[in-house]
Chains A and B, each alone.
Chain A
Amino acid sequence: SQQGEEDPQALSIQEGENATMNCSYKTSINNLQWYRQNSGRGLVHLILIRSNEREKHSGRLRVTLDTSKKSSSLLITASRAADTASYFCATDSNDYKLSFGAGTTVTVRA
C-alpha cells in the first residue's frame, strides 16, 4: 500500500528559483529515499536519508527528515530546465520493500 504522500501534486517555477516539495508518511521507517522520473522514463535515485539523520545535501539537492512529524522535504536550489520531472519519495518500513508516493510534478520554465 502507498505509504508516502507528496505535496504539492504539481509545481511550476521559473528557472533559477528554488523548488520545495514535501513527503509525509504513516509508519516508522528505516530510511527515506527520493527518486526522479523524467517523462516516460524509469526512476533515478537521488538521495537517501537515514532515520537518524535530519538533513542531507547532494549538489543542488537538500533533503530534510523530521521523524517526529513523519515528514521529509526535498529542496532543489537554482532550478534548471533539466530539473523538469516528477519527484517521488519512497519509504521502507520493516523490510526491503519500497513504498512510493504519487509524486510531485515539477515544471521549470525557461
Chain B
Amino acid sequence: DAMVIQNPRYQVTQFGKPVTLSCSQTLNHNVMYWYQQKSSQAPKLLFHYYDKDFNNEADTPDNFQSRRPNTSFCFLDIRSPGLGDAAMYLCATSRGSGATDTQYFGPGTRLTVL
C-alpha cells in the first residue's frame, strides 16, 4: 500500500512559470519534509512541517514556498523556476522529530525546467 504519494512523478515547466508539486501520506505522521536532490548529490532539506508549524532551512531560496492544509497533504510551490531548480523533489514523513524517528520517502517528482 502506498504510504507517501507524490504527484506528478514527472513535471515539465517553463523557465519562470510557477509550478506546484504535491505530496500526500496515509501514515498520519506529524512531520512532513521536502528535499531537493540534484543528480548524484545528497538530498538537501528545503523545509519541514511539524503539524502546522513551518520550519524553513536558512539557505532555502525565497522562490520555494510550502503549504500544508491538513495532516495528509503538503505542497511545494516554486514561484519562478530557474534552470538550476531542475532536480528530483522528495517528500518524506516521520511520526515525530526525535533522533530515532525513521523518515518515509515518497517516490519523488522529477522536475524539468525548459
A residues at B contact (CB < 8 Å): 2, 4, 30-31, 33, 35, 40-45, 48, 50, 88, 92, 95-103, 105
Contacts and interface: CB of A to CB of B under 8 A. Distances in A.
A45 B100 contact: no
A45 B44 CA distance: 16
B63 interface: no
Q: Is the interface of B mostly helix, strand, loop or mixed?
A: loop
Interface stretch (B13-21, B35-43, B77-85): B35-43
Interface residues of B, number: 27
B49 to A, nearest CB: 12
A31 B99 CA distance: 7
Given A30-B99, A48-B100, A40 B105 contact: no
Contacts of B106: 42
B107 A42 contact: yes
A2 B45 CA distance: 10
30 contacts: A2-B42, A35-B105, A40-B88, A40-B110, A41-B108, A42-B6, A42-B105, A42-B108, A43-B103, A43-B105, A44-B105, A45-B104, A48-B100, A48-B102, A88-B42, A88-B43, A92-B99, A95-B97, A96-B31, A96-B94, A96-B97, A97-B45, A98-B45, A98-B103, A99-B42, A100-B43, A100-B44, A102-B40, A102-B41, A103-B42
